[in-house]
Structure 1
Amino acid sequence: MQYSPAPMLDISKIKAITLDLDDTLWPIWPTIERAEKALSAWLGPQAPGAAAVFADPQARLALRQQVVRSQPEIGHDLSALRRESIRLALHRANEDTRLAEAAFEVFFTERMQVDLFDDARPALAFLAARFPLVALSNGNADVGRVGVGEFFVASLSAQEFGVGKPDPRIFHAAASSAGVASDDVLHVGDDAALDVLGGLGAGMQTVWVNRHDHQWSHEAQPHVTVATLSELCDLLQAAPARPSWVVSCRLSARRPV
């Protein structure tokens, strides 16, 4: 296949940055695995039937798929999907479905305990010193509970907005939340289709964060590909810092407390 040449990044046009969260700022699957274990452990003494379902990845997936089929209107809302999956597991096991809300909170609390990539916190400090940052995610992470809310002027998720990436409407809404036009935004994310193609479709400049050296397989190209967020900061060194900010992208990373 012939690919179009990558467009040139125009730093002078950037007035705001939208950032994906899962697998861009932290690895998501270790977090989800810990949350699944916490959920199963909590359910075990009170609802062993449901606990067994959530301890089995295939049974868990089948349950989720059943919820999506029966309630397609919540397919974009990962919190609702999780909550209803727990409720369905309890129902099928003839256990107390009233446990669903408390069980979800156990899962969600653990899901917020992310381990940031080493470059994430210093990069957020560097970028936030230069541009308004908006979190833009199809997931259900809460940037405040995760411990990085201080860097963002706004946060928009698919479950709040009603549609997710790559739908251009959520990108446009994110731009509006920063008070700029979509073509003044740089979108940064790890997912080739959801982040890069979605951002391009919304008229934004895009950065593909390719931490694992994947091959690009789409005709349209990101404006920039980086292996780390530190590389992105290096590219944006020319962007002026806001008054009173003196930040280095390569400061030692500190995990959220």
Structure 2
Amino acid sequence: MSFPVRAITLDLDDTLWPFAPLGERAERAMHEWLETHCPRTAIRFHPEAMHALRAQINAEHPHLAHDFSRMRLLTLERALREAGDDPARAEEGFEVFFAARNAVECYPDAIDALRRLAAHVPLMALSNGNADLARTGLAEHFRGSLNASTHGMPKPSASIFLAACESLDAPPDEVLHVGDDIELDVIGAARAGLRTCWIDRDGRDWPYDDPVPDLRFDTLAALADWLDAHAHRRITDTAAA
């Protein structure tokens, strides 16, 4: 399949790096900080209890559900207060979590694939998560970044995809959105009028007859291969004309 691609929007968690081990390390780092600096909170709110408290905070503030950093900070403030520790230390504890959350370990193919993709078209990170591109060390590959907390609406809302297209100064049907999540990435982007690429590293079955992803690969490197070939064909076709 061949179609014009003027820009790429790219999901982060579970597209460039596996999130589960990263999240576990970040949770563990914050709990270890609590054990040292706020032991009453660490005892009362072990990781499972902290997770339950975060679910409670989410239920109390549904309008903030898309802002993961804000919700985690509110959770930590509540935990410190209820345990009798100083809630003013929440910012410090969150920073420990956030530093670990951004210490990403990319899939083996991802960094080189980013370099290859960015050599052809501008890339924009488009995520519901709270990763900080500068802190991950990957910002050099991207034109910019848009996430749910800054935009105010998460994927699969069409508005976040269209805002990214506007920022990239490209029409939606010439922007390729790349991600791992069937509903948030592929279905959401398709409904917003973007082209779609499903990165399926696990060999899953596509569950729908319509829409289907325009492209499907098991690595980001395979997408880079496709774009290399696509760009070569475009140059050849232009020369022939």
- The TM-score with structure 1 as length reference comes to 0.86
Matched, 1:149 2:139: yes
Larger RCO (CA within 8 A; separation ≥ 6): 1
Identity of aligned residues (%): 45
Residues 17-65 of structure 1: CA deviation (Å, up to 9, x unaligned): 00000000001111111111110111113322322455333x2221111
More helix by share: 2
Partner of 2:235: none
Distance 1:239 1:224, change over 3 A: closer
- Name the SS for the 1:237 alignment partner: helix
Distance in 2, Cα, partners of 1:185 & 1:144: 23
Query: What residue is the counterpart of 1:106 in the other structure?
Result: 96
Alpha-carbon separation, structure 2, partners of 1:97 and 1:14: 48
Question: d(CA) in 2 for partners of 1:83 and 1:227?
Answer: 35
Residue 218 (structure 1) shift: 2.5
Secondary structure of 1:141 counterpart: coil
SS in 1 for 2:16: coil
Q: Which residue is equivalent to 2:2?
A: 10
Moved over 4 A (4+): none
1:132-154 Cα shifts (integer Å, max 9, x gaps): 10000000001111011001101
Helix, strand or coil: the match of 1:211? coil
Flag structure 1 segments of 5+ consecutive residues without an equivalent: 1-8, 242-257
Q: Give the number of equivalent residue pairs.
A: 231
Structure 2: gaps (5+ residues): 233-241
Q: Select which of 30, 49, 55 maps to 2:40.
A: 49
Gap change, CA 1:107 and 1:204, over 3 Å in 2 = same
Question: Equivalent residues in 2 for 1:155-174 (5 A)?
Answer: 155-174=145-164
2-side partners of 1:63 and 1:98: how far apart?
Answer: 18
Distance in 2 (alpha carbons) for counterparts of 1:212 and 1:53 = 38
Which residue is 1:191 aligned to? 181
Residue 230 in structure 1 maps to residue 221 in structure 2: yes
SS at match of 2:116: helix
- 2:85 partner amino acid: E
AA aligned to 2:67 is D
**Kept after mapping to 2: 8 A contact 1:37/1:55:** no
TM-score when normalising by structure 2: 0.92
Summarize the Cα distance change of 1:218–1:52 in structure 2 as closer, same or farther, 3 Å threshold: farther
**CA displacement 1:107-163 (0-9 Å, x = unmatched):** 001111000111111100110000010000000001111011001101000011000
Question: Which amino acid letter does the alignment assign opposite residue 40 of structure 1?
Answer: H
The match for 1:30 among 21, 32, 45 is: 21
Distance 1:151 1:192 in 2: 25
Whole-angstrom distance in 1 between the partners of 2:227 and 2:6: 12
Partners of 1:27 and 1:116 within 8 A in 2: yes
Identify if the C-alpha distance between structure 1 residues 90 and 166 changes in structure 2 by more than 3 Å, giving closer, same or farther.
Answer: same
1:21 aligned counterpart, secondary structure:
coil
Cα deviation, residue 88, structure 1: 1.1
1:89 maps onto 2:85 in alignment:
no
Classify 1:114/1:53 alpha carbon distance in 2 versus 1 (closer, same or farther; 3 Å).
farther
Native 8 Å contact 1:211 1:228 kept in 2? yes
Q: Which residue among 97, 108, 111 is the counterpart of 1:118? A: 108
What letter matches 1:36 in structure 2? E
CA offset at residue 10 of structure 1? 3.2
* Structure 1 residue 19 corresponds to structure 2 residue 10: yes
How far apart are the structure 1 equivalents of 2:125 and 2:219? 18
**Equivalent position of 2:57 in the other structure:** 67
Aligned partner of 2:205: which letter?
Q
Asked if the contact 1:39/1:54 (under 8 Å) is kept, the reply is: no
